Amino acid sequence: MSTETVTIEKLGAQGDGIASDAGGPVYVPFSLPGETVAIARVKSHGTIMSIAAPSPDRQEPPCRHFGPDGVNGTCGGCTLQHLADRPYRAFKRQLVVDALKSKGLTPDIGEIVPAHPGERRRVVFAARRTEKDMLIGFNQAESHHIVAIEECPISSSGIVARLPAIKAIAASLATRAEAFRIAVLETLSGLDLAVDEIKKLSDPQRRKAIETVLALRGIARVTVNGEILVEPSKPLLDFGGVSVSPPAGGFAQATKPAEEAMAELVLAHAGRAKRIADLFAGAGTFSLRLARIGRVHAVEAEANALAALDQAARKTQGLKPVTIEKRDLFRRPLMTQEFKPYDVVVFDPPRAGAEFQCKELARSAVKKIAAVSCNPLTLARDLAILVEGGYRITGVTPIDQFLWTSHVEVVATLEK
């Protein structure tokens, strides 16, 4: 390890400040462009010792657990709390600009739809029993060390207020010192907790855990390793006026405002389409909203998510017909001829994107496509495939769903 002084030139794609010397780039977390900082350096990684010239874009982080001086260590959840709002939003929008430009795409890109504190309804905690207490928090960056949190400004007040209840449930389940995960989703009927990576429960432990949950308020369901332990009330999400009971531990958009912003863009692009295909449909975030416009065919690989979508569609009056298909679109994408019935195709894949699906879609005659993505780099690759196939990008909107991180959602619209 060496100590040296460097000047930060830019922010990297992960939010670290980057300096450079003859040996190559040096990555310095919690630094900002233009700052002169003294660092302790190990290879290409620098830890800030002091800041000689702070950037005018630097702000006081709103959370006590953020940064190198965070309580109990640096919480690994946020990386950019020290960057003021305007440059922060510009940085995230530029990630999308740069990703598309890397594939030769230069469409007009809208201003980013901002995120705000207290909006996160889905978080994943790390937990571990110690000799003295039950730890609940987030892993320190690139570490297995759990930073016990006392506040979380990104999370909804409903989750933060129930941290003691989550801790009590974790304590009733943990028998050993190994760390485990608790995915928490705030639903209309209470918190839905999915506990994973924990040892199988004995019967007495199971009874104790159930008694603990039933004695608490605001808990809708607890599942352990995919099995429902107790469900005091069915968890419910609202997808554009349609009530959906999500599968335990299943995917849901992290914030309601971001979900609604994405859905609004997708629905506006769909217009008055009569036949719509929704690929990677999940539990129906877009399908159930689109079914108020036209007939929807929802394709998804996860059986539990598809079942939740199907059940919600059957129970809701006023929707156009919704058909479902369980299909792994990575292994078996819809073929070009299968798109003939559809006016609009919507796809919202995982971070890996939809490369093979887009190659088939590019050869189709579908008039409109709405592409939703949580990864600008794979989105750029997929859009380039569609553009080469004769599609024109008509809109690109970045959406901030993961506040104070380098992750950004995007909705792109295309026409043949």
Q: Where are the domains of the chain?
A: 1-58, 90-115+255-415, 122-230
Average pLDDT, integer, range 181-199: 97
Residue 280 labelled as part of a binding site: yes
For 184, the token pair is 């928490």
Average pLDDT, integer, range 21-43: 92
List C-alpha distances in Å: 358 to 48, 60, 295, 330, 334: 44, 44, 22, 11, 9
Residue 348 labelled as part of a binding site: yes
How many residues belong to the chain?
A: 416
**N-term to C-term CA, the chain:** 56
- Residue 125, classed as helix, strand or coil, is strand
pLDDT at 71 over 70: no
| Residue 74 pLDDT | 84
| Residue 143 pLDDT | 83
Put simply, whether the predicted model's pTM sits higher than 0.85 gets the answer yes
Task: Domain 1-58: give its CATH architecture.
Answer: Beta Barrel (2.40)
Q: How far apart are CA 279 and CA 300, in angstroms?
A: 7
As a whole number, the mean pLDDT across the chain is 95
Q: How far apart are CA 166 and CA 223, in angstroms?
A: 13
User: Quick one: what percent of the chain has pLDDT higher than 70?
Assistant: 99
Confidence of residue 72 (pLDDT cuts 50, 70, 90): low
pLDDT at 13 over 90: yes
Confidence of residue 233 (pLDDT cuts 50, 70, 90): very high
State the DSSP H helix or E strand holding residue 206, giving kind and residue range, or none if neither.
helix 203-214
Q: Which of 78, 152, 358, 374 is catalytic?
A: 374
| DSSP-derived secondary structure letter, 319 | P
| Residue 12 pLDDT | 95
Rg (Cα) of the chain, in Å, rounded?
Answer: 23
Cβ neighbours, 10 Å, residue 252: 24
Task: Domain 122-230: give its CATH architecture.
Answer: Beta Barrel (2.40)
Enumerate the β-bridge partners of residue 412: 371, 396
> Under a CB-based contact definition with an 8 Å cutoff, are residues 114 and 121 in contact?
no
Q: What digits encode the pLDDT tens for the residues 45-61? A: 999 999 998 999 999 99
Q: What digits encode the pLDDT tens for the residues 354-370? A: 999 999 999 999 999 99
Three-state secondary structure of 35-92: CEEEEEEECCEEEEEEEEECCCCECCCCCCCCCCCCCCCCECCCCCCCECHHHHHHHH
pLDDT at 25 over 90: yes
Give the number of C-alpha atoms closer than 13 A to the C-alpha of residue 382, restricted to the C-beta side: 30
Q: What digits encode the pLDDT tens for the residues 128-169? A: 999 888 999 999 887 888 999 988 999 999 999 999 999 999
Fold of 90-115+255-415: Rossmann fold (3.40.50)
> Under a CB-based contact definition with an 8 Å cutoff, are residues 173 and 210 in contact?
no
Q: How far apart are CA 203 and CA 208, in angstroms?
A: 9
Residue 75 known to be catalytic = no
| Residue 69 pLDDT | 76
| Residue 361 pLDDT | 98
* Same fold yes or no, 1-58 and 90-115+255-415: no
With a CB cutoff of 8 Å and minimum separation 6, the contacts of 17 are 8, 10, 11, 27, 28, 29, 30, 31, 32, 33, 35, 37
- Residue 25, classed as helix, strand or coil, is strand
Q: How far apart are CA 380 and CA 274, in angstroms?
A: 28
